[in-house]
């Protein structure tokens, strides 16, 4: 997918990854990195300053526009990104002009919600421009890759996204920007669970050996086995010829494979709730405490963007505790990765996943807290963007008052 990445083929999971995870932005150690993202559906904004307010490229290394030159423009928000450089952090909005011609990343402090009151009649940006692009699904390279993916289900949305990444006419946008804009057409939960496989960016296919041989070698280097993804949804695209335009390029035969778990394969919020009694049973002879449970739920589902927000949320949720209780409280915390959760297919297997996570923190936990008060909170689906992954947990225990 990206000719800046040094490995021929890698597997990455957006979110916490499974083996061979690739950080798409490692090549830019001196620039900003993406920490968290949140998706929106073309929410209108406009500049609230007439002074210089710059729009940047995706990793904040290049100014590409100045908002003061667009006094009548309404900008449409597609996602917010928390960026970090060292200890510095900031939230940037990815916005596109109403006519779709100008796009980039702007610090959110420069924008205010709503249609520009000085706007001229313009059309809202299209959800995507994929229908006007030449499809990669029909070229011979793509067909050869698909022949290796028997047992997987071709998904139209993934196919469109893969095609946009490889053959999209995003002139002036680098490969990474094209990638993130292309997967933006997927739902938020799908973006969280997306597995990306790509090849031919750094180590080009030489065009002499059969393409079939190149595919096998690429899969082997990445230790990617399609049989491990039987039943998963898939989208594939390959460059039928070399592509080179300002900001982005792809080699002939370069390909991308997008994978998602089968629809309905992961737990629901109701199943998470049904797991709570079994999780409490992991701590025999403890006393369920409503105060601790409310606190655990608040902290497990906090949507905090900045460190100061996290501290404020914690102070507010724990304000009922005395100084003595604060110092004696025991906490178990686990961030469950999307990949771990995708392998869970029942309440029982989820409880076992949590149990093993607790054992790693304290192998003898089951015998230590008899008589303690306890509260458990689980992170629900679709609530947090800057907080914990869905299925994560927080457990708080207080010793009995003597």
pLDDT in tens, 249-307: 567 788 889 988 776 555 666 778 889 999 999 999 999 999 999 999 989 887 655 55
Q: Which is higher by pLDDT, 334 or 9? A: 334
Q: Please report which residue ranges of 75-155 form alpha helices under DSSP H.
A: 140-146
Query: What pLDDT shows up at residue 73?
Result: 87
Q: Is the per-residue pLDDT at 4 higher than 70?
A: no
| Domain boundary pick from 199, 230, 260 | 260
Calpha distance 134→138 (Å, rounded): 10
Q: Is the per-residue pLDDT at 369 higher than 90?
A: yes
Q: Is the per-residue pLDDT at 238 higher than 90?
A: no
Residues 255 and 273 in one domain: no
Closest CA to 34 of 185, 183, 199: 183
CATH code at position 50: 2.30.30
Q: Is the per-residue pLDDT at 134 higher than 50?
A: no
Q: Which is higher by pLDDT, 265 or 338? A: 338
What does DSSP say about strands 153-154 and 195-199: parallel, antiparallel, or unpaired?
A: unpaired
Q: What's the token pair of residue 47?
A: 């500049």
Most confidently modeled of 210-219, 270-279, 366-375?
A: 366-375
Calpha distance 137→103 (Å, rounded): 27
CA angle 210, 215, 217 (to 5 degrees): 95
Q: Tell me whether residue 72 is in a domain.
A: yes
Residues 166 and 254 in one domain: yes
Instruction: List Cβ neighbours of 214 (8 Å cut-off, separation of 6 or more).
Output: 199, 200, 205, 253
Q: What is the four-CA torsion angle of 288, 293, 296, 298, rounded to 10 degrees?
A: 180
Q: Tell me whether residue 121 is in a domain.
A: no
Residues 109 and 173 in one domain: no
Calpha distance 84→36 (Å, rounded): 10
What does DSSP say about strands 373-378 and 287-288: parallel, antiparallel, or unpaired?
A: parallel
SS3 257: strand
Residues 36 and 69 in one domain: yes
Residues 164 and 206 in one domain: yes
Residues 171 and 107 in one domain: no
Query: What pLDDT shows up at residue 27?
Result: 32
Residues 299 and 178 in one domain: no
Mean of pLDDT over the chain: 75
Angle, helices 175-183 vs 156-167, to 10°: value is: 160
Angle, helices 269-281 vs 347-361, to 10°: value is: 50
Residues 230 and 179 in one domain: yes
Query: What pLDDT shows up at residue 131?
Result: 31
Residue recorded with tokens 């998602």: 260
Angle, helices 290-300 vs 307-317, to 10°: value is: 170
Average pLDDT for 389-393: 83
Q: Tell me whether residue 210 is in a domain.
A: yes
Q: Tell me whether residue 124 is in a domain.
A: no
Residues 67 and 167 in one domain: no
Most confidently modeled of 108-117, 118-127, 196-205, 384-393?
A: 108-117
| Domain boundary pick from 260, 279, 294 | 260
Calpha distance 76→16 (Å, rounded): 29
pLDDT in tens, 38-88: 777 677 888 988 888 889 888 777 888 889 888 888 888 888 888 877 666
Query: What pLDDT shows up at residue 321?
Result: 93
Q: Which is higher by pLDDT, 205 or 388? A: 205
Alpha carbon 222 to chain centroid, angstroms: 21
The DSSP-derived string for 187-255 is -HHHHHH-EEEEESSSS---SSS-HHHHHHHHHHHHT--GGGGTT-EEEEEE-SS-EEETTEEE-TT-E
Is the distance from CB of 24 to CB of 345 less than 8 angstroms? no
Query: What pLDDT shows up at residue 13?
Result: 37
What does DSSP say about strands 255-260 and 195-199: parallel, antiparallel, or unpaired?
A: antiparallel
Is the distance from CB of 235 to CB of 162 less than 8 angstroms? yes
Query: What pLDDT shows up at residue 252?
Result: 79
Q: 18-32, 207-221, 289-303: which range is least confident on average? A: 18-32
Q: Which is higher by pLDDT, 165 or 329? A: 329
Q: What's the token pair of residue 272?
A: 């998470």
Q: How many domains does the chain have?
A: 3
Q: Which is higher by pLDDT, 41 or 346? A: 346
Q: Tell me whether residue 331 is in a domain.
A: yes
| Per-residue H/E/C for 280-340 | HHCCCCCEECHHHHHHHHHHHCCCCCCHHHHHHHHHHHCCCCCHHHHHHCEEEEECCCHHH
Most confidently modeled of 127-136, 138-147, 173-182?
A: 138-147
Average pLDDT for 87-114: 81
Q: Is the per-residue pLDDT at 248 higher than 80?
A: no
Q: What is the extent of the structural domain holding 79? A: 31-113
Calpha distance 350→182 (Å, rounded): 32
Query: What pLDDT shows up at residue 305?
Result: 52
Calpha distance 51→130 (Å, rounded): 36
Residues 197 and 251 in one domain: yes
């Amino acid at each position: 997918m990206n000719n800046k990445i040094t490995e021929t083929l890698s597997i990455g999971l957006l979110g916490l990854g499974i083996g061979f995870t690739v950080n798409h932005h490692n090549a830019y150690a001196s620039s900003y990195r993406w920490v968290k993202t949140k998706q929106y559906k073309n929410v209108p904004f406009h500049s609230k300053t007439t002074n210089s307010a710059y729009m940047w490229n995706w990793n904040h290394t290049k100014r590409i526009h100045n908002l003061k030159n667009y006094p009548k423009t309404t900008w449409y928000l597609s996602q917010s990104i928390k960026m970090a450089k060292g200890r510095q952090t900031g939230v940037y909005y990815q916005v596109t002009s109403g006519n779709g011609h100008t796009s980039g990343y702007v610090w959110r402090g420069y924008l205010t919600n709503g249609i520009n009151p000085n706007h001229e009649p313009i059309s809202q940006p299209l959800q995507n421009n994929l229908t006007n692009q030449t499809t990669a699904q029909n070229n011979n390279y793509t067909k050869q890759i698909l022949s290796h993916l028997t047992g997987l289900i071709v998904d139209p949305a993934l196919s469109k996204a893969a095609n946009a990444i490889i053959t999209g006419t995003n002139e002036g946008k680098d490969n990474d920007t094209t990638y993130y804009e292309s997967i933006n057409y997927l739902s938020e939960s799908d973006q969280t669970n997306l597995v990306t496989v790509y090849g031919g960016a750094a180590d080009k296919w030489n065009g002499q050996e059969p393409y079939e041989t190149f595919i096998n070698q690429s899969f082997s280097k990445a230790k990617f086995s399609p049989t491990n993804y039987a039943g998963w949804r898939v989208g594939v695209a390959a460059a039928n010829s070399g592509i080179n335009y300002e900001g982005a390029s792809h080699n002939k035969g370069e390909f991308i494979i997008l994978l998602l778990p089968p629809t309905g394969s992961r737990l629901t919020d109701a199943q998470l709730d049904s797991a709570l009694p079994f999780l409490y049973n992991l701590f025999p002879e403890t006393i369920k405490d409503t105060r601790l449970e409310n606190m655990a739920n608040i902290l497990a589902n906090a949507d905090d963007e900045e460190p100061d927000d996290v501290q404020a949320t914690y102070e507010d949720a724990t304000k009922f505790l005395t100084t003595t209780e604060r110092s004696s409280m025991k906490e178990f915390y686990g961030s469950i990765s999307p990949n771990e959760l995708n392998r869970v297919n029942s309440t029982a297997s989820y409880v076992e996943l949590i149990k093993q996570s607790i054992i790693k923190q304290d192998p003898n936990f089951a015998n230590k807290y008899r008589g303690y008060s306890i509260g458990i909170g689980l992170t629900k689906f679709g609530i947090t963007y800057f907080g914990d992954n869905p299925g994560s947990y927080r457990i708080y225990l207080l010793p009995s008052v003597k």
